[in-house]
Amino acid sequence: MKAKFYEMLETLGITINDDQYNKFVTYFELLVEWNENINLTSITKLEDVFIKHFFDSLCLVKGIELNNQSLLDVGSGAGFPSIPLKIVFGNLDITIIDSLNKRIKFLEALTKALEIDVRLIHGRVEEHIYKNHYDIVTARAVSNLRVLSELCIPFVKVKGVFIALKGPKYHEEYLDSINAIEILGGKLSKNIEYEIADQKRVLTIIDKVKKTNDKYPRIYGKIKSKPL
Residue 206: its pLDDT value, please?
A: 97
What average pLDDT does range 72-80 have in this prediction? 93
Question: 170 pLDDT band (50/70/90 cuts)?
Answer: confident
CA nearest to 148, candidates 125, 131, 171: 125
Residue 34: its pLDDT value, please?
A: 96
- The string of DSSP letters for 21-69 reads HHHHHHHHHHHHHHHTTS---S--SHHHIIIIIIIHHHGGGGT---SS-
Task: Report which of residues 167 and 61 the model is more confident about.
Answer: 61
Distance CA 48, CA 208 (A): 34
Count the helices and strands in the chain (H runs, E runs). Answer: 9, 7
Residue 62: is its pLDDT beyond 80? Answer: yes
Residue 110: its pLDDT value, please?
A: 98
Residue 142: is its pLDDT beyond 80? Answer: no
Using DSSP's 3-state secondary structure scheme, residue 130 falls into coil
Residue 228: its pLDDT value, please?
A: 94
Residue 198: its pLDDT value, please?
A: 86
Share of the chain above pLDDT 90, in %: 91
| Total number of domains in the chain | 1
Residue 171: its pLDDT value, please?
A: 86
Domain containing residue 218: CATH number: 3.40.50.150
Residue 141: is its pLDDT beyond 90? Answer: no
Domain that holds residue 216: 2-225
Residue 32: its pLDDT value, please?
A: 96
Alpha helices in the chain (DSSP H): 2-10, 18-35, 46-48, 56-58, 82-88, 101-114, 145-152, 170-183, 220-225
Question: 169 pLDDT band (50/70/90 cuts)?
Answer: confident
Residue 51: its pLDDT value, please?
A: 96
Question: 76 pLDDT band (50/70/90 cuts)?
Answer: confident
Question: 150 pLDDT band (50/70/90 cuts)?
Answer: very high
CA nearest to 27, candidates 44, 13, 10, 42: 44
Determine contact, residues 24/73, Cβ cutoff 8 Å.
no
Chain mean position to CA 155 = 14
CA nearest to 132, candidates 187, 52, 17, 209: 209
Residue 61: its pLDDT value, please?
A: 97
